[in-house]
Amino acid sequence: MKFVYAVEGLSLWVGRAFGWCILILTLSVSYEVFVRYVLNAPTVWAFDMMIQMYGALFLMCGAYALAQDTHVRADVVYRLFPVRVQATLDFVLYFLFFFPGILALVWFGYEIASDSWRYKEVSFNSPASIQIYFFKSLIPVSGALLMIQGAAELVRCVIAMRHGVWPERLADVKETEDLLTEADMDTIRSVIPGK
């Protein structure tokens, strides 16, 4: 579990760090709307910066989402299975689909990023000619982080297959609906003894 928690800690740290892109994105969109519609002086750089901030957020928070088990999954039938069956199914599917897809992301992402650095690529959509080779470097980096987090998920699956219980994840923020559900359960427990 030390390995799992070390990898999850890294994924949480990177996800939180790149989560600040939301603040930058919000401020830049607000600024662009103000100068465009109030001052009638749109910027040439805001659109490209917004795309890069959103892209960075999307790429670099993938491992965070995997570490927190927040990726969307169609678990209508899956959740009815015993934990050992869930873990075995996850283990097999990681090898069949996840790792080949992430390996392709790293491989081709590296090619895309290295070509972009070689050409000192700039955005062709903008008159500001913003450099995008820094941004494209995030593609293989995000794939590597997902690969490492995927290895931690495999260890988690093995532990669940052996013990029949999923190991606890490192705690971070919770969805509002989860907090409300916990609050409702606490209320039910306080009103109905033995629940």
Q: Is the pLDDT of residue 191 over 70?
A: no
Two structure tokens written together for 67: 């570490």
**What range does the domain containing 78 cover?**
2-191
Output the pLDDT for position 90.
Answer: 93
Identify any residues that bridge with 71 across adjacent strands, giving them in sequence order: none
Q: Is the pLDDT of residue 185 over 90?
A: no
Segment among 61-75, 78-92, 116-130 with least mean pLDDT: 116-130
Q: How far is CA 177 from the centre of its chain?
A: 20
Q: Is the pLDDT of residue 195 over 70?
A: no
Could you tell me the pLDDT band of residue 48, with boundaries at 50, 70 and 90?
confident
Domain count, the chain: 1
Two structure tokens written together for 178: 């989860």
Output the pLDDT for position 186.
Answer: 67
Q: Is the pLDDT of residue 20 over 60?
A: yes
Rounded Cα–Cα distance for residues 52 and 64 (Å):
19
Mean pLDDT along residues 3-27? 89
* The model's pTM: 0.81
